[in-house]
């Protein structure tokens, strides 16, 4: 089996699709409440308002944001799955992209979830951990987990993830 990041990229494109639909379906909300600038380039997951006088959002708003977040999180898991195949030559069961707040959490979960990855790739993923100061992974987890299990989390106003800080070039090992 030859590893490929095609599926991970497909997840990112799907997240972009959901965000594009948000922009077309709710332009007033995105521009006035969330500060979405017309003509803005790249991937942006906007934060939801805490209190801006908006009493209700369209029902699809939270669903689309949640689906975008889900697809971004899945893309990271797909990345680890494919790296495990690349490095080990075999499919590895139970892989995922760990997101850890502490070094102890990393030591406990990193080896389990990064089974089959070479030390170079493990170290690259470790650099993307919240305990190493990488905040976008912590934010993504903070939005992803409640959305999967309960409801979309209301957070502060402003951009959460943009193409400039989602995968900062300095944080990527390749």
CA 169 to chain centre: 16
The two three-digit tokens of residue 132, written as one number: 């190493």
Domain span including residue 69: 6-166
- Domain assignment of residue 1, yes or no: no
CB–CB of 157/35 below 8 Å? yes
What stretch of H or E contains 46? strand 45-46
173 within a domain of the structure (yes/no): no
Is 60 exceeded by the pLDDT of residue 94? yes
pLDDT category, 41, cuts 50, 70, 90?
A: very low
How many domains are contained in the chain?
1
Question: Which spans in 89-157 are helix H?
Answer: 103-113, 119-126, 135-149
- pLDDT category of residue 56 using cuts at 50, 70 and 90: low
Segment 33-39 mean pLDDT: 45
Q: What percent of the chain has pLDDT over 90?
A: 44
Residue written as tokens 């959002």? 57
Q: What is the mean pLDDT of residues 15-27?
A: 79
Q: Is there a domain that residue 174 lies in?
A: no
What torsion do the CA atoms of 23, 24, 30, 36 make, to the nearest 10 degrees?
Answer: 50
Residue range 75-93: average pLDDT? 96
Q: Who contacts 135 (Cβ-Cβ below 8 Å, separation ≥6)?
A: none
Q: Is residue 80 pLDDT above 50, yes or no?
A: yes
The answer to the question of residue 44 being in a domain is yes
Q: Is residue 60 part of a domain?
A: yes
Indicate the pTM of the whole model: 0.72
Q: Give residue 166's pLDDT.
A: 44
CA pair distance 117, 95, nearest whole angstrom = 10
Summarised one tens digit per residue, pLDDT across range 115-161 is 999 999 999 999 999 999 998 899 888 888 776 656 654 433 444 44
d(CA 3, CA 80): 11
Tens of pLDDT, residue by residue over 1-20, are: 788 999 999 999 999 898 88
Higher pLDDT, 149 or 54: 149
At 103 the pLDDT is 98
């Amino acid at each position: 089996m030859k590893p490929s990041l095609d599926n991970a990229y497909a997840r990112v494109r799907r997240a972009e699709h959901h965000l594009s639909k948000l922009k077309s379906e709710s332009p007033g909300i995105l521009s006035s409440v969330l500060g979405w600038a017309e003509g803005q380039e790249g991937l942006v997951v906007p934060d939801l308002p805490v209190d801006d006088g908006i009493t209700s959002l369209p029902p699809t708003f939270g669903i689309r944001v949640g689906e975008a977040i889900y697809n971004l999180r899945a893309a990271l898991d797909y990345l680890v799955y494919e790296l495990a195949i690349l490095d080990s030559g075999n499919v590895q069961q139970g892989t995922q992209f760990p997101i850890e707040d502490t070094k102890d959490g990393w030591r406990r979960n990193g080896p389990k979830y990064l089974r089959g990855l070479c030390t170079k790739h493990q170290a690259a993923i470790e650099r993307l951990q919240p305990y190493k100061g990488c905040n976008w992974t912590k934010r993504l987890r903070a939005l992803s987990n409640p959305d999967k299990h309960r409801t979309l989390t209301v957070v502060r106003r402003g951009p959460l993830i943009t193409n400039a800080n989602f995968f900062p070039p300095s944080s990527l090992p390749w």
